[in-house]
């Protein structure tokens, strides 16, 4: 069955009712949204994703309802977000919180901390090791975002367990500075002190997010820090995809299509 939302061009397949349905979106909430696997279907490579044509307009509507209290929280860079969602250009945290832009467009220019410098040095030591590992498996490729490095193996999913074990082993010496996060056919090395939960917490200290109940929607292991932070504050955490016993999210939507229909219903309210 397909559902067409009033005033939107979205046509998404509907799924069986989720196990724990999130409540309708409240315009008084602070809305935080992951991107890949949440707003966009995952593609074989990040640059191949398709953005539904009505999605930027819907983000603008949802942000306007909340007087700007909507932010994208993603592993992508801010420049990549602006390319994908133009003309939308709202609040966002990129590279898992290493980059952050406020609702008014100002960039948070933080001076590098000692943990930042330690993590950067650790990544420099890891880059040649990851290159050697990627050469071992044709089809594996490296995405270097500067402050994080990811190893993608979507082309060879049958080698996933072997690849994750190899990366984890070579990264053990850098465990104080970096942490490997296993995602959907990807393993990303991130600074241990930079994560989506910290980015959400930073937004919640500022207008227009301050004082609002936070709601975060994500789909992957990199989103669990965000779920935990939102839960700690009495907010709403929503995991996209099948229910998993290791997720701390309190609610679930089965697919990207369900997320977009849920958001579109709120945008029309």
- Predicted pLDDT at 181: 84
What is the tens place of the pLDDT at every residue in 184-232?
Answer: 888 989 898 889 999 999 999 999 999 999 999 999 988 999 999 999 9
Q: Is 34 a catalytic residue?
A: yes
Per-residue pLDDT in tens (0 to 9) along the chain, 269 residues: 334 444 444 444 444 333 478 988 999 999 999 999 999 999 888 889 999 999 999 999 999 999 999 999 999 999 999 999 999 999 999 998 889 999 999 999 777 889 889 999 999 999 999 999 999 999 999 999 888 899 999 999 999 999 999 999 989 899 889 988 888 888 989 898 889 999 999 999 999 999 999 999 999 988 999 999 999 999 999 999 987 778 999 999 999 999 999 999 999 87
Residues 6+ apart with CB under 8 A from 85: 51, 55, 56, 59, 72
Nearest to 262, CA basis, from 244, 228, 238: 238
Question: What is the distance between the alpha carbons of residues 128 and 214, in angstroms, rounded to a whole number?
Answer: 40
- The long-range contacts involving 226-235, CB below 8 angstroms and separated by at least 24 positions, are 226/32, 226/34, 226/73, 226/195, 226/196, 226/197, 226/199, 226/200, 228/197, 229/196, 229/197, 229/198, 229/200, 229/201, 230/32, 230/200, 233/204, 235/29, 235/30
- Out of 34, 36, 220, 223, pick the active-site residue: 34
Strand partners, 191: 178
- What pairing do the DSSP bridges indicate for beta strands 214-218 and 30-33? parallel
Domain boundaries, the chain: 2-110+194-267, 114-191
Residue range 114-191, CATH number: 3.30.70.1020
Q: Which CATH superfamily is domain 2-110+194-267 in?
A: HAD superfamily/HAD-like (3.40.50.1000)
- Predicted pLDDT at 8: 42
Question: What is the distance between the alpha carbons of residues 142 and 151, in angstroms, rounded to a whole number?
Answer: 5
- Predicted pLDDT at 6: 41
What is the tens place of the pLDDT at every residue in 76-103?
Answer: 999 999 999 999 999 999 998 889 999 9
């Amino acid at each position: 069955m397909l559902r067409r939302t009033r005033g939107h061009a979205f046509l998404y397949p509907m799924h069986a009712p989720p196990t724990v349905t999130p409540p309708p979106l409240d315009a008084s909430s602070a809305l935080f949204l992951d991107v890949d696997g949440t707003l966009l279907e995952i593609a074989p490579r990040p640059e191949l994703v398709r953005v539904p044509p009505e999605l930027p307009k819907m983000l603008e509507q949802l942000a306007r309802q909340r007087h700007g209290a909507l932010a994208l929280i993603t592993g992508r860079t801010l420049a990549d977000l602006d390319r994908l969602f133009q003309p939308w250009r709202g609040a966002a945290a990129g590279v898992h919180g290493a980059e952050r832009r406020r609702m008014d467009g100002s960039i948070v220019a933080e001076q590098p901390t000692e943990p930042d410098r330690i993590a950067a040095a650790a990544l420099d030591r890891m880059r040649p090791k990851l290159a050697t590992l990627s050469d071992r498996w044709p089809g594996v490729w490296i995405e270097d975002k500067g402050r994080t490095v990811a190893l993608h193996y979507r082309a060879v999913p049958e080698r996933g367990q072997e690849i994750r074990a190899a990366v984890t082993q070579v990264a053990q010496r850098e465990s104080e500075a970096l942490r490997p996060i296993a995602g959907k056919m990807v393993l990303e090395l991130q600074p241990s002190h930079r994560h989506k939960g910290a980015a959400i917490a930073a937004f919640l200290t500022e207008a227009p997010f301050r004082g609002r109940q936070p709601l975060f929607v994500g789909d992957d292991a990199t989103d669990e820090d965000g779920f935990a932070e939102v839960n700690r504050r009495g907010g709403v955490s929503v995991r996209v995809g099948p229910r998993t016993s290791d997720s701390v999210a309190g609610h679930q939507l089965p697919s990207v299509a369900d997320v977009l229909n849920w958001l579109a219903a709120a945008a029309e309210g």
